[in-house]
């Protein structure tokens, strides 16, 4: 057990009538020599009240309507010796403190080791920030953070209560028509200026169909990797998919929505004939390496869509590809489970004196003489001045049979996910972003050289050499898991 796992102490003990069924060895049946593979899934609601701020854009409007509820979708797997939990939350990103508290409580209540509990956000841009109501990092959790902790824990506990003998399979499909690199080389330098008064070599989200478009600045990853779990008599229990596409959007101002991630969950349930089951089937779509990927074809723009229209189109296409691939996968009666979790210290990016002078000058000007982005990044630069020089992040890997899952607390670029797939020792590998914390964008060193929104100070918060260090640590953890 690593130092992080040992740091979990007995916390908020709660008497529970079902404690006996939650013990880590619960997958072994009495009197049986062979362990039994089991699975359970559940959903819990994390929708905030109207009036909450909606984060993910330059401004934070208040929520005036709930189009579709936000949820935590949880899957628990048990091989008789080890138990894993994966919880995917409909939120832009959830901070490390909230996840850490959730993991502590789950460890206390179930005995599950911290390295076996993967918690991540989908990155919907039409929901609240997890930190709303919390002013200073390190303070006591806010009311909404405590609500999130309770609901994450409840969801995993209910999934654990639903454990039953199960089979598991995995596979992949491809949907290349819905993923596009959003960072572009352009022939017009005036389109690539940044808020700091500098000149970038690429631009995020350039004008669609513009004559200055030269070429995308990076690759895409069209793979949809997935795990499918069913009961021994063939009843669908859950499906966890992973696609490297940012949110889709098309949400009216003030609407709360879980974006295409939730539409996928609903559609895959329909396609699998899993409506109205008891326990309910749980569809899950995790966010892959989509930090530089979105759903906009900049070279050949599509006609404007109505509210929610494009997210439904994308989600249905992805779900249909997964459903088709499901027909060919092999289900296993038993697979081994394991996980690793470690801390990695990164150097934080700090503003230099020239940047601080620029920021102070922007703040001294009347608002009407500055642009919104200038004011935002001036505030971010000044806010970073007195922050710690180092950032401690959590990196996690899971092994589920022949499948390896990497969990990274950043908005990760597609190239990073492709590298992990190529270099990882397990036959199937995918990455879940926005996991176990939220530290902004994680460009590769090559992308840092190009500049652009994702590399700006305040959008990117860690040193330019952080991505290779993260990949190296994850590969080390995968090698440990593959060698067992």
DSSP string, 50-115: TT-B-BSSSS-PBP-EESS--EEEEEEEE-SS-EEEEEEESSS---HHHHHHHHHHHHHHH---GG
Section 449-473 average pLDDT: 97
Q: Would the pLDDT of 167 be above 50?
A: yes
Q: Determine, yes or no, domain membership for 101.
A: yes
Section 259-278 average pLDDT: 97
Give the pLDDT of residue 132. 58
For residues 230 and 366, membership in a common domain is answered with: no
For residues 14 and 135, membership in a common domain is answered with: yes
Q: Would the pLDDT of 204 be above 70?
A: yes
How many domains does one find in the chain? 2
For residue 27, what are the domain limits? 3-178+218-345+389-482
For residues 168 and 273, membership in a common domain is answered with: yes
For residues 25 and 54, membership in a common domain is answered with: yes
For the ranges 31-45, 311-325, 332-346, 418-432, which has the lowest average pLDDT? Answer: 31-45
Q: Would the pLDDT of 135 be above 70?
A: no
**Cβ neighbours, 10 Å, residue 337:** 21
For residues 372 and 404, membership in a common domain is answered with: no
Give the pLDDT of residue 1. 42
What is 113-147 written as a DSSP string? -GGGEEEEE---SSB--TTTT--STTSPPPHHHHH
Please report which confidence band the pLDDT of residue 6 belongs to, taking 50, 70 and 90 as the band edges: very low
Please report which confidence band the pLDDT of residue 166 belongs to, taking 50, 70 and 90 as the band edges: very high
Please report which confidence band the pLDDT of residue 60 belongs to, taking 50, 70 and 90 as the band edges: confident
Q: Determine, yes or no, domain membership for 193.
A: no
Q: Which residue has the higher pLDDT, 23 or 89?
A: 89
Q: Determine, yes or no, domain membership for 211.
A: no
Q: Determine, yes or no, domain membership for 110.
A: yes
Tokens 């003489």, located at residue:
369
Which pair of structure tokens corresponds to residue 479? 């090698």
Question: How many CA atoms lie within 13 Å of 5's alpha carbon, on the beta-carbon side?
Answer: 15
Give the pLDDT of residue 372. 87
**Cβ neighbours, 10 Å, residue 38:** 25
For residues 361 and 231, membership in a common domain is answered with: no
For residues 360 and 257, membership in a common domain is answered with: no
Mean pLDDT, the chain, rounded, equals 91
For residues 295 and 380, membership in a common domain is answered with: no
Which pair of structure tokens corresponds to residue 150? 């309770």
The Cα 285–Cα 266 span in angstroms is: 10
For residues 64 and 172, membership in a common domain is answered with: yes
Please report which confidence band the pLDDT of residue 134 belongs to, taking 50, 70 and 90 as the band edges: very low
Please report which confidence band the pLDDT of residue 16 belongs to, taking 50, 70 and 90 as the band edges: very low
The Cα 193–Cα 200 span in angstroms is: 6
Residue 34 DSSP symbol: S
Q: Which helix (H) or strand (E) holds 381?
A: helix 372-385
Q: Determine, yes or no, domain membership for 207.
A: no
For residues 246 and 370, membership in a common domain is answered with: no
End-to-end CA distance of the chain: 15
| Model pLDDT for residues 440-452, shown as the tens digit of each residue | 999 999 999 999 9
For residues 379 and 319, membership in a common domain is answered with: no
| Model pLDDT for residues 355-411, shown as the tens digit of each residue | 999 999 999 999 888 888 889 999 999 999 889 999 999 999 999 999 999 999 999
Give the pLDDT of residue 56. 67
| 3 state DSSP class of 429 | strand
The Cα 413–Cα 220 span in angstroms is: 9
Q: Would the pLDDT of 311 be above 50?
A: yes
């Amino acid at each position: 057990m690593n130092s992080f796992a040992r740091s979990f102490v007995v916390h908020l003990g709660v008497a529970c009538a079902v404690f006996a069924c939650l013990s880590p060895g619960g997958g072994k049946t009495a009197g049986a020599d062979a362990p039994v593979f089991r699975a359970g899934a559940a959903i819990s609601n994390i929708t905030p009240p109207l009036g909450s701020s909606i984060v993910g854009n330059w401004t934070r409007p208040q929520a005036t309507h709930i189009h579709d509820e936000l949820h935590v979708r949880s899957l628990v797997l048990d091989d008789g010796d080890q138990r894993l939990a994966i919880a995917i939350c409909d939120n832009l990103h959830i901070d490390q403190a909230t996840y850490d508290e959730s993991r502590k409580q789950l460890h206390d209540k179930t005995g599950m080791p911290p390295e076996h509990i993967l918690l991540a956000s989908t990155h919907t841009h039409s929901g609240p920030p997890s930190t709303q109501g919390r002013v200073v990092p390190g303070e006591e959790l806010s009311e909404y953070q405590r609500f999130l902790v309770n609901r994450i824990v409840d969801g995993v506990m209910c999934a654990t209560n639903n454990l039953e003998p199960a089979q598991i399979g995995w596979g992949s499909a491809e949907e290349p028509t819905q993923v596009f690199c959003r960072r572009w080389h352009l022939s017009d330098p005036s389109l690539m200026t940044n808020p700091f008064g500098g000149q970038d070599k690429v631009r995020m989200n350039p004008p669609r169909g513009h004559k200055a478009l030269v070429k995308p600045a990076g690759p895409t990853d069209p793979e949809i990797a997935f795990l499918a779990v069913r009961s021994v008599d063939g009843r669908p229990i859950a499906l966890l998919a992973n696609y490297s596409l940012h949110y889709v959007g098309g949400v009216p101002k003030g609407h709360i929505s879980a974006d295409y991630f939730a539409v996928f969950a609903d559609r895959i349930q329909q396609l699998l004939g899993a409506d109205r089951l008891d326990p309910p089937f749980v569809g899950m779509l995790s966010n892959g390496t989509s930090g530089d990927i979105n759903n906009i074809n900049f070279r050949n723009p599509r006609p404007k869509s109505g509210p929610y229209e494009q997210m439904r189109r994308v989600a249905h296409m992805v779900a249909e590809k997964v459903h088709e691939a499901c027909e060919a996968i092999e289900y296993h009666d038993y697979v081994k489970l394991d996980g690793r979790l470690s801390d990695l210290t990164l150097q934080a990016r700090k503003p230099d004196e020239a940047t601080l002078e620029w920021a102070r000058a922007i703040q001294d000007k009347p608002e009407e003489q500055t642009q919104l982005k200038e004011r935002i990044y001036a505030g971010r630069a000044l806010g970073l001045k007195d922050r710690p020089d180092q950032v401690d992040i959590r990196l996690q890997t899971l092994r589920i049979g022949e499948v390896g899952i990497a969990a990274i607390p950043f908005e990760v670029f597609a190239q990073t996910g492709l590298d992990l797939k190529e270099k990882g020792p397990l036959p199937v590998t995918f990455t879940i972003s926005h996991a176990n914390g939220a530290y902004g964008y994680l460009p590769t060193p090559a992308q840092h050289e190009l500049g652009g929104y994702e590399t700006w100070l305040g959008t990117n918060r860690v040193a330019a050499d952080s991505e290779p260090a993260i990949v190296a640590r994850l590969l080390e953890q995968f090698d440990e898991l593959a060698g067992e």
